[in-house]
Structure 1
Amino acid sequence: MRLPGTRYQEPGWEEVRKLLGQCSLAALRGVDPARLPDAAAWEGLLAEYVERTGERLRQGRHGARARASGNSYGDSVLELALGLLYELQARPADWQAFCAAVAHEQARIAGFWLDAGGEALLRKKLNDMYAVLRDKVDADNYQAACGRPCSPNRIYAYRMLDTAYGEIARLFADWEQHRAQVGAILGRELQGVPIEVRQLRTIADCRAEWVLRWSETLEAFGGGVGPLHTRSKRFANLKTAPDKIGEMLREIGDYQALSANQDRDWLQDRDDAALWMDDYWRVLQESEQAATPGPDLILEARQEALEDEQAPEAGPEAPLPHDPQLDVLATAVSLPPGYMQAAGEAEARAGWVARELCDDGLVVRLAVYAKLLGPGDESYPDAWRDPATGELPTMQQLAGLAQVSLPTLRKRRDAAIARLQAATMRRTG
């Protein structure tokens, strides 16, 4: 199921859940579950748990499960798992609820996680924590995307309706084998091929009364009590509101149709816009000395820029010669040998930003780019990226390359950004 802003409502969630459970159990062995019932230690335990689990996730980043697709937006299972893990750190109430659940079980059976099946119980409690957190995160992102209120329970209801549609579509497709149940869902005895079988093409074609009758028929046809016919209050506001069910079904269907291109058109627009911006900034750089750059000057500058592509432009500093010591530093921070040399060579056609910061060195410039554009901007050459993450090295890695402390690197980066902003004001002023 796809909804605006959501990332965790598609089938890839199952792999995300399994990866988080697997790495969480390994992390908790180091944390020692016996400490979880101590409310005074919850804050410190959360930080320790997040750090250990994040480390486990990154260690397994090359595994098939971690690299698998997590949703149709292009997020991998690993990316979604890490995102939800760090959301947990920002929402400590969910961690506290998990610890309280462990404390309750511990009071009933001391050291339950050590017994046969005890680790499975601990994992279930972790799964419950992340399932709640998943819907909270997606509900918040849905609100941000649509500007409409949305609770985690509403996200759960969307997912239930999507599941209901899938089951109804399955029954309709095999209606001859499920004639009695399909007839009950349609509210009539079937005489021939029901026209609704051909009409049901997407979830937007599914009718609210079908969902209500499907839920009603489940118990009679061996599927247990239907979600809209249990005593649970979770769907209380839907049980007597077919109009609301129909509205939610159409919303899922409309967004499904809207996003059917799987973002390919948007990605092409982004690439086109990036090329246009490259041209735009190149023209401005060439014409910056002119007081009033007019159309002719812009055209001339563009032609000169195109001609310049025939010959490489000198970068802010000569590419670093191969230095075995640099290989040692790169390896020490989990970067490939030769990283600094390759990254320096990739800056050979540097723009005005790199020229402005030429005295700061490559490491500081990379830190500036990461701060201003983010660690994974599409414009970065591959040589700048950490092969393990596909992004720029972290500040900790960059500090290791520069052989300075992290606070020192941050100060140098912020000072460089301040000079860059001043230079930008001079250019535009």
Structure 2
Amino acid sequence: MSDSGETIQARVAAAMITAPGSGQGKSMVTATLARLHRNAGRRVRVFKHGPDYLDPMVLEKASGAPVYQLHPWMTGEAECAWRLADAASEADLVLVEGSMGLFDGNPSSADLAVLGGLPALPVIDAAGMAQTFGAVALGLARYREDVPVHEVIANRIGSPGHGRMLAESLPEGIRLLGAVPRHEAMNIPDRHLGIVQAQEIQNLDEQLDAAAEVLQAAGLDQLPKEIQLSARRPAPPPRLLEGCRIAIARDRAFAFIYRANTELLEAMGASLDYFSPLANETVPEADAIWLPGGYPELHAAKLAGQSAFRDWLQAHHQADRPILAECGGMMACMEALVDGDGERHAMAGLLPGESIMVGRLMGLGIQSLETAAGSLRGHTFHHSRLETPLEPLAHTRRQRFDSAGEAVYSDKSLLASYFHSYFPSSPAAAAALFRRDEPLF
């Protein structure tokens, strides 16, 4: 995407909240830090490194501001830079939640920290740990010279004395910013794809406020150091979807939607209508339909009984109007869905075969889809498999191994895959998904 020529320059307190690995508690610490500073009257912006739908839902609730994904390969380095600089121009604090461990993946959270000039602030689960805490912190600080680590957060400590022991274990040049005790307010439920959706967590606001008090008592109410951010603002995208009305499924079964995707569609001229398949809603005037990913397997019995939604979807398909079905959306388009208990539920039947929950990870990673209009980047993450006699129209490419990835299926103007697209990676290709006036492959 070309730039507009306008340069954004701003100074802001900022940090990359990271960890030695997954499960250390960095998601809740990031959300709670955002709520703590928001409650103090500061303007807070939070970002998430890498492809993730679930953490941003909680981060938006915590900060009260939009949350976008940042990933030097998927979203692009230029977009990472301008989103950070744009946030800095209006905020008092910018936080980026890393993914997995600090150095995991390619590009890793460390790579994004270097790109944005962000200091890394590791959250280390100290439960069952004493002086080894200092060794872990030292390893994170010394592994790469270009990734500054000067402070760490101890999580899930057992007592104030435990916290003092951890602080004493740290080598020169690294200090303990705060020690967070084990506390019910710092726990958030999860399931097979990650943490539970924010809309499903009862009293989330009250929990975040309570957790913020825990962090304040732990001494984590101070702002990180300021950094200078500068980037060029991108030019508006071409109006490739002028007059196109897109119906987008959005409820507890279909919620995996990048905010940047819908904003791009609107910037290209599309009008967006949201509907709930679980509520049996339809949008009869839609020119195109987008069924995003989510948890149809948790609501399969109810989806099977929503006849108005099913009949409308089938009529749209028979009329050869565009349908984009991503992951959970594709599962809803099959003849049947077999849930985690082995129960078989009838779906819309736009594609032959069925999706089957298998209780283990079946696809994970950054991928791209080459189309005639451009290369769409995105990812895959699912715990089901597809059984279908349909031959794939195309395959995505795995970024890491440059090999064939997810199958892409098509029937009439329906395009279905486990692949989740990041539309801003190729606005022209994203527009082609919903117009279909030219062949995609």
Structure 2-normalised TM-score? 0.25
**TM-score, length basis structure 1:** 0.26
Q: Looking at secondary structure, tell me which structure has more helix per residue.
A: 1
The structure with the largest strand share of the pair is 2
Higher gyration radius (CA): 1
Point out which structure has higher relative CO (alpha carbons under 8 A, 6+ apart).
2
